[in-house]
Amino acid sequence: MAGYEYVSPEQLAGFDKYKYSAVDTNPLSLYVMHPFWNTIVKVFPTWLAPNLITFSGFLLVVFNFLLMAYFDPDFYASAPGHKHVPDWVWIVVGILNFVAYTLDGVDGKQARRTNSSTPLGELFDHGLDSWSCVYFVVTVYSIFGRGSTGVSVFVLYLLLWVVLFSFILSHWEKYNTGILFLPWGYDISQVTISFVYIVTAVVGVEAWYEPFLFNFLYRDLFTAMIIGCALCVTLPMSLLNFFSVDPLVTFRYFRATS
């Protein structure tokens, strides 16, 4: 493993020409989160490496996953008649999820603040994000879990693919346009998930047994939000960005793939 050539010399040479370019049009990010992150990043000392911030946020996501796995190993803890996850666990997971999300938003600002932004740092960040897609979904699954009031494991599997599809789609978009259009669904989902964890600690998992509207259960709302966000927000915006950035880019792409 140590002697394996993961990146060719030609690919390494390409890093010298690479320049990070991203566009964020999400109102939540622009008017709420970015001002918040701009304040938070000033707390960090300039000697703190951006990659360490990135990795710390990822470790919090993994810790949440392991903590929930300990209290809910078979995803039945939220089902009626089973021993539920303690309320304090939901609070801890909710707070740490928001902290991890904050660190993910701050690491790039720290890199630019300390003039240490590199293509490898971006690759490290996005590589960890790809793993986090799994941990986020599986951890939040414990809110509903399995059983008569929960979500089937097969649906969980589909939701994992939907989230991964959204992640891959945004990077396909960047590969072909040279610009990373940050998906709206990420910021909205992270704030919502953190909030829902705290609400679960206050109202208990039994509150999610009740219908949200008519016979439409909260578990159905959970599933519909993830799929709907991917199909109605992420996918259309990615295609719109792909076709509108540069017509020549679109032409070259379809010519190369035809």
How many distinct helices (H) and strands (E) make up the chain? 11, 4
Q: Which residues pair with 22 in a beta bridge?
A: 180
Burial of 145 (0-12, 13-18, 19+ CB in 10 A): buried
Instruction: Using the structure block, give the residue that is written with the tokens 């997971």.
Output: 93
The helix (H) or strand (E) run that includes residue 180 is strand 180-181
Catalytic center residues:
126
Residue 251: its H or E element: helix 247-257
Helix ranges (H only) for the chain are 9-15, 27-28, 34-40, 50-71, 87-113, 119-141, 153-177, 184-203, 218-229, 235-245, 247-257
Sort strands 216-217 and 211-213 into parallel, antiparallel or unpaired.
Answer: antiparallel
AA letter at 135: Y
How many CB atoms are closer than 10 A to CB 243? Answer: 12
Half-sphere exposure (CA, 13 Å, Cβ side) for 71?
21
